[in-house]
């Protein structure tokens, strides 16, 4: 019984852990993505580039 309880607790813990980690990673990903997009925002760009059509 004791063992069963421990196993149950572990299973519960694992579930919570997996949920947590998924949540953590997804938010982090979104945050990173957000961060990446804003990493070099337009308003601080110092240069107006001369580019060819193929560069875009």
Partner 1 sequence: MILKDDEILKKKFQIVICGSGPAGISIALELEKKKIECLIIEAGDEFYSEKAQSRYKGEVYGNFPEDLSVLRLSQFGGTSGHWGGTCRTLDNYDFQNWPIKKSEIDPFLDSSCEILNIPKSFREKNINNNLKIIEFQESKVRFYEKYYEHIKRSKFINLALNCIFFNIKMSGNKVTELFLKSTKDISIKTNFLVLACGGIENSRLLLWFRENNKEISKDLPIGNYWMEHPFKKIGSGVGNFKAIRKNFENNFESFKNFRNWGNFTVSISPTQNLISQKNILNSAVFLTLHDRNNDNFKNNIKDLLCVAPSLSNHILDLFNKDLLCGITLSSSWEQNPQLENRITLSSSKDFSGIPLTKLNYQLSDLSLQTANEMVNQIGNYFIDKDLGRLGAYKTIENLSSFVSEAGYHHIGGTIMGKSKKSSVVDKNLKLHNIENLYICGSSVFPTGGHANPTLSIVQLSLRLGEHLIKRLKTI
Q: What residues line the site for partner 1 (CB under 8 A)?
A: 39-40, 45-52, 54-56
Q: What's the closest the beta carbon of residue 5 comes to partner 1, in angstroms?
A: 55
Tokens of 4: 């069963």
Residues 25, 29, 35, 37, Cα dihedral to 10°: 180
Give the residue with the Cβ less far from partner 1, 15 or 33: 33
Closer CB to partner 1, 3 or 54, in the complex:
54
Identify which of residues 4 and 42 has a Cβ nearer to partner 1 in the complex. 42
Distance CA 7, CA 1 (A): 10
């Amino acid at each position: 019984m004791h063992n069963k309880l421990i196993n149950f607790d572990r299973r519960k813990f694992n579930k919570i852990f997996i949920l947590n980690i998924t949540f953590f990673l997804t938010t982090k990903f979104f945050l990173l993505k957000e961060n990446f997009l804003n990493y070099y925002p337009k308003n601080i760009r110092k240069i107006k580039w001369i580019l060819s059509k193929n560069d875009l």
